[in-house]
Amino acid sequence: MSGHAAPKSIQTRAREALSLAIVFLVLWVCTQYTPRLHDDASLLVGLGFLLLAGTLTSELMEVFRVPHLTGYLVAGMVAGPHVLHLIDHESVKRLEPVNTLTLALIALAGGCELRIDALRKGLRSLAVAMVVQGVLGMAIVGGVFMLAAPRMIPFAKGMPPAAVFGVALLWGVLAISRSPSATLGVLAQTRAQGPLTTFTLGFVMSSDVVVVILLAGVIGVARTLMEPGAVMSLQAFGALGHEIVGSVSVGTSLGLVLVAYIKFVGRQLLVVLLALGFGATEVLRYLHFDPVLAFLVAGFVVQNLSKQGERFMHAIEGASGVVYVVFFASAGAHLDLPLLRELWPVALLLAGTRALVTFGAAKLSSRIANDPPRIRTWGWAPLISQAGLTLGLSSVIAREFPAFGGSFRALTIATVALNEMVGPILFKLALDRTAETRGQAPALEEVEEAA
């Protein structure tokens, strides 16, 4: 699937629109005029509908040059429990195993996309961007949160200043988190290659680890600000170190096992990927390791320490097409639109501030690192998206601070919803403008003029 396939005729678009209308109509009739289906049957109906509706919606939205995953999200939102009620909350929740498989495939693909030679060339750029984005993102977005708290954030009203500062620090960490799933979803569609793609993969994947480490430290600081008598504990850092080192070790071993299997057996790779996505993920969670980090390392090992990287990547692409559609369509159905309607003023303020800071920090870091022209011009666009990682971090915060954690997570969901809708579109636009979706680089002089 190319980001620049030949344009479809009006007749083809009309057939796609008619097919989409029929799919929605059939499911609506089923929900209105048939008895409530058995749970398993209802799950299968919802799964099939999201697959069909998501695919057709994404094809129709190609007219607007937006990424396919935006179409998947829109289909899920329209069919979900907050708009047409064609798919209920229970069915969406029961699709979570598909999300588990998708995240495993995304992490494996992300690791395969990270090539040592490309990372070595862009190491200075990545390091500078990580520092500048982290410092400015936490300071400015956290500062805006603190200023908005007394009037616009209900759960922060009445908190003492020290406690508000602690909550603002937590929000600042969330502000610098990115979305590996949205990044790889766009790249899976466009098959993009080039400096911007390489920079984006390196930055987004490495920021996962950095943000997790930062959050552990900030939770300790925030607790001392909110709870009189609380002291910093190194226990959390010890547990975090165990998780990171263990995840990297298991991922390395898993990558070597995959290399041996592909080289000496090489059959039924789809079954192997399914076993990894479901079985290995549960084992890693039971051992308190991070599955995303472990699979990321495994993919990296297969790509860089063997000659099996291309073959493995081809197998992942063959397995991921269907699950990507269901993953993002169910994510759209899961978006809490009433909550977004209630919190949209402060969510828009925080999301807008984060976008502006990301844009400014990217320009500054590119100037410091003397990045190539296309990264100086478009390096900010891939960093707007947020999705599962940010929501996962907000769940950790909600568990650690039950007094306000539920409301904090609700605001996170509303803000992530905005970033989840806008971010992939901006990333796709950047890839189109730099011609990386065509697999060819524009002349540097042309990009210099665009900059």
Domain regions of the chain by residue span: 10-94, 99-438
Q: Which CATH architecture has domain 99-438?
A: Up-down Bundle (1.20)
Residues 6+ apart with CB under 8 A from 330: 50, 76, 92, 95, 98, 99
pLDDT of 146 reads 92
The DSSP H or E segment spanning 119 is helix 116-121
DSSP 290-358: -HHHHHHHHHHHHHHSSS-HHHHHHHHHHHHHHHHHHHHHHHHHH--HHHHHHHHHHHHHHHHHHHHHH
Residues present in the chain in total: 451
The DSSP H or E segment spanning 53 is helix 39-60
Query: Which has the higher per-residue pLDDT, 238 or 202?
Result: 202
Confidence of residue 451 (pLDDT cuts 50, 70, 90): very low
Confidence of residue 440 (pLDDT cuts 50, 70, 90): very low
pLDDT of 402 reads 86
For residue range 83-114, what is the model confidence (pLDDT) as tens digits? 888 887 777 777 777 777 877 887 788 788 77
Confidence of residue 134 (pLDDT cuts 50, 70, 90): very high
Instruction: Count the neighbouring beta carbons within 10 Å of the beta carbon of residue 368.
Output: 14
End-to-end alpha carbon distance in the chain: 29
Confidence of residue 171 (pLDDT cuts 50, 70, 90): very high
pLDDT of 229 reads 61
Would you say the C-alpha torsion 214, 145, 396, 326 has a positive or negative sign?
A: negative
For residue range 45-83, what is the model confidence (pLDDT) as tens digits? 778 888 888 888 888 887 877 788 788 888 888 888 888
Reply yes or no on whether the pLDDT at 145 is more than 90: yes
Average pLDDT over residues 403-432: 87
- What percentage of the chain has pLDDT greater than the value 70? 90
pLDDT of 380 reads 94
Which of 258, 268, 273, 264 is closest to 304 using CA atoms? 258
Indicate the angle between helix axes 68-79 and 10-33, nearest 10 degrees: 30
Reply yes or no on whether the pLDDT at 327 is more than 90: no
Reply yes or no on whether the pLDDT at 442 is more than 50: no
Provide the token pair at 222: 């925030």
Cα dist from 429 to 6, 318, 352, 386, 432, whole Å: 18, 25, 18, 17, 5
pTM higher than 0.75, yes or no? yes
The CA distance from 224 to 226, in Å, is 6
pLDDT of 330 reads 80
Average pLDDT over residues 433-440: 73
Which of 299, 291, 285, 288 is closest to 184 using CA atoms? 299
Q: Which 3 state secondary structure label does DSSP give 12? A: helix
Spatial contact of 331 and 106, defined as CB atoms under 8 Å apart:
no
Confidence of residue 236 (pLDDT cuts 50, 70, 90): low
pLDDT of 6 reads 59
- What percentage of the chain has pLDDT greater than the value 90? 21
Provide the token pair at 78: 């329209």
The CA distance from 341 to 412, in Å, is 13
Cα dist from 116 to 25, 111, 143, 198, whole Å: 50, 11, 37, 11
7-24 per-residue burial string, b: 16 or more CB within 10 A, e: under 16: eeeeeeeeebeebbeebb
Cα dist from 162 to 107, 158, 167, 224, 336, whole Å: 38, 11, 9, 9, 31
The DSSP H or E segment spanning 84 is none
Reply yes or no on whether the pLDDT at 144 is more than 90: yes
Average pLDDT, the chain: 82
The CA distance from 50 to 56, in Å, is 10
The CA distance from 313 to 300, in Å, is 11
Query: Which has the higher per-residue pLDDT, 189 or 7?
Result: 189
The DSSP H or E segment spanning 219 is helix 195-226
Reply yes or no on whether the pLDDT at 444 is more than 50: no
Confidence of residue 267 (pLDDT cuts 50, 70, 90): confident
